[in-house]
């Protein structure tokens, strides 16, 4: 009888300690540049679902605030989180981790200021449907002096562009894409230009 009681207590304590261990979570907070719609948020969350054990995912599209909890025992690094954001097609601006042990880690991601000198990389929402859209968007953006690299993802509708901020600006690049017939997060293509696109490229308009 005593053995049964002792074993029950031991198992109970082990279960309790195990549960407590599972509750030890690190909190991650990332300011993300490039989120423009619920579809963007879905794409970001889906990419982070690759991190098994992720909990309490929250994304604010308006502010770009992205947060989640992750088991402390896995010791997920700031670098791994920022790389995952980039893999999803977005840019981490600032990152902060509140470790379960009370330690706080912070970092600044890519510099996004238009006044920054040298090559910078930004993400912006660009409407489109297919491979023809991708080719047209890339060609238009690449035609702007100072642009060194362009990548548009037809699934996330995000264009990632690297450019010399001393030679051009994101707004100027957006306008080149708009003039080719594609709405961006901040500008709308002329109706006539949009109407002239092939039928397969008639995307859902982004702006009013």
CB 21 within 8 A of CB 74: no
Spell out the domain ranges in the chain: 25-108, 119-201
Q: What is the mean pLDDT of the chain?
A: 84
- Under a CB-based contact definition with an 8 Å cutoff, are residues 128 and 204 in contact? no
In CATH, what is the architecture of 119-201? 2-Layer Sandwich (3.30)
Note whether 25-108 and 119-201 share their fold. Answer: yes
Using the predicted structure, report yes or no on whether residue 6 has a pLDDT greater than 80: no
| Alpha carbons 144 and 167: distance in angstroms, whole number | 9
pLDDT tens readout for residues 26-81:
999 998 887 777 888 888 999 999 999 999 999 988 778 899 999 999 999 999 99
Top-level class of domain 25-108: alpha beta
Local confidence band at 14 (pLDDT 50, 70, 90 cut-offs): low
pLDDT digits (tens, 9 = 90+) for 126-173: 999 999 999 999 999 999 999 999 999 988 888 989 999 889 998 999
């Amino acid at each position: 009888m005593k053995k049964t009681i002792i074993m029950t207590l031991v198992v109970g304590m082990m279960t309790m300690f195990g549960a407590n261990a599972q509750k030890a979570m690190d909190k991650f907070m990332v300011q993300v540049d490039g989120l423009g719609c619920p579809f963007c948020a879905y794409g970001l969350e889906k990419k982070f679902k690759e991190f098994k054990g992720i909990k309490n995912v929250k994304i604010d599209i308006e502010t770009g605030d992205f947060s989640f909890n992750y088991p402390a025992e896995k010791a997920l690094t700031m670098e791994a989180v920022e790389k995952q954001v980039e893999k999803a097609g977005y840019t981490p601006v600032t990152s902060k981790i509140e470790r379960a042990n009370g330690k706080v880690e912070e970092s600044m991601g890519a510099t996004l200021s238009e006044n920054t000198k040298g090559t910078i990389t930004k993400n912006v929402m660009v409407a489109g449907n297919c491979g023809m859209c991708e080719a047209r968007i890339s060609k238009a953006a690449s035609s702007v002096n100072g642009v060194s690299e362009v990548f548009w993802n037809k699934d996330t509708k995000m264009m990632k562009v690297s450019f010399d901020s001393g030679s051009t600006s994101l707004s100027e690049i957006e306008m080149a894409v708009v003039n080719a017939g594609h709405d961006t997060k901040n500008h709308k293509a002329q109706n006539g230009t949009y109407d002239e696109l092939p039928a397969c490229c008639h995307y859902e308009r982004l702006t009013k």
